[in-house]
Amino acid sequence: MAFRFLLLCFFCQSALADLDCEVALNFGLVVNQQQIRVIDDSRTVYQINGDSQLIVGGNWIELSDPQQQQNLAELANGLHLVVPKMILLANEGVELAVDTVEHVYSGLMGKDHKSQEKLQASLERVQKSVREKFIHANDTYYMGPGRLENVDDFVDRELEEQIEQVMSTSVGGILSAIGGLVASEQTTEQKVDELAQKLEDVGAAIEQNVAPKAQSLKQKAEWFCQKFKALDKVEENLRASVPELKPYDILDTGAEH
């Protein structure tokens, strides 16, 4: 029962699993202090300078309606607020996941296990991929298009495959160690007792060190979820009144439905 619970912790952090929030970016976003650029295949399709100037396809769009101006300002200010924080949250989330896997694996298998290097290499690939999707350089922030489902899934389908490889490596090593119980010179009962103690130690460490961070991460993600939903509604109002923006639906949270 304890081992089964541990495997469940590998694949979903229980403190985060009940958060259900679907957010998708249909375009890339580049945000700095002066402007927001909406990117499609490395091409800027429209941008907002400050919180009042809208340029679509290289053409300045004059907004004479006060409601349009208000919606544009709300969208710009909201993206200026959430995008930098979202990038920090994404990196914080993947670091927590990596730390958890490393902690559990080393707690059960030890630092010198032969598959430790393979596990570490896989984890580094995951971190590198997240850094490439969520970029922070000087005062510029970039988020690539894709789904941002749940607090532990700030990466798209391509990255999920890498994370699954990490899990297969770590779980496979643990199962191999358990399989070795039969061939060991120690009695099966002694080895099982040792493994049970390791499981208890790792579980206690996770409860003390990981669970508070995971709970904090979940609370931040809930805040972002509500912000994105509110911004999605603002964006839909703006697109409905500005024909030039109709082809460009940046945020998709289902709020417009």
pLDDT at 179: 55
Q: Could you list the residue range(s) of the whole structural domain that residue 209 is in?
A: 16-249
Distance CA 151, CA 113 (A): 31
Does any domain span residue 41? yes
Helices 66-109 and 188-205: crossing angle in degrees, nearest 10, is 150
Q: Domains in the chain: how many in total?
A: 1
Does any domain span residue 30? yes
- At 120, the pLDDT band (50, 70, 90 cuts) reads confident
Does any domain span residue 107? yes
Comparing CA positions, the residue from 152, 165, 156 lying closest to residue 217 is 152
**DSSP code at position 173:** H
Is residue 182 over pLDDT 70?
A: no
Other beta carbons less than 10 A from residue 75's beta carbon: 24
Q: Which residues pair with 146 in a beta bridge?
A: 25
For the segment 140-150, the average pLDDT, to the nearest whole number, is: 77
For the segment 147-175, the average pLDDT, to the nearest whole number, is: 56
- Higher-confidence residue of 56 and 8: namely 56
Is residue 247 over pLDDT 70?
A: yes
Which residues are within 8 A (CB) of 34 and not within 5 positions of it... i.e. 6 or more apart? 49, 50
* Both structure tokens of 32: 């700095």
Other beta carbons less than 10 A from residue 157's beta carbon: 9
Q: Are 257 and 232 in contact, with CB atoms under 8 Å apart?
A: no
Q: Which of 44-58, 106-120, 123-137, 181-195 has the lowest mean pLDDT?
A: 181-195
Three-class DSSP labels, 203-236: HHHHHHHHHHHHHHHHHHHHHHHHHHHHHHHHHH
Distance CA 163, CA 123 (A): 8
For the segment 104-115, the average pLDDT, to the nearest whole number, is: 65
For the segment 197-211, the average pLDDT, to the nearest whole number, is: 69
Comparing CA positions, the residue from 212, 211, 27, 206 lying closest to residue 106 is 206
pLDDT at 99: 75
Does any domain span residue 10? no
The mean pLDDT value of the chain amounts to: 76
pLDDT at 97: 74
Above pLDDT 90, what percent of the chain?
Answer: 32
**What phi and psi values does residue 157 have, to the nearest 5 degrees?**
-60, -35
Distance CA 79, CA 83 (A): 6
Distance CA 27, CA 52 (A): 21
The b-or-e profile of 86-118 (16+ CB within 10 A means b, else e) is bbebbbbbbebbbebbbebbbbbbeeebeebeb
Is residue 16 over pLDDT 60?
A: no
**DSSP code at position 47:** E
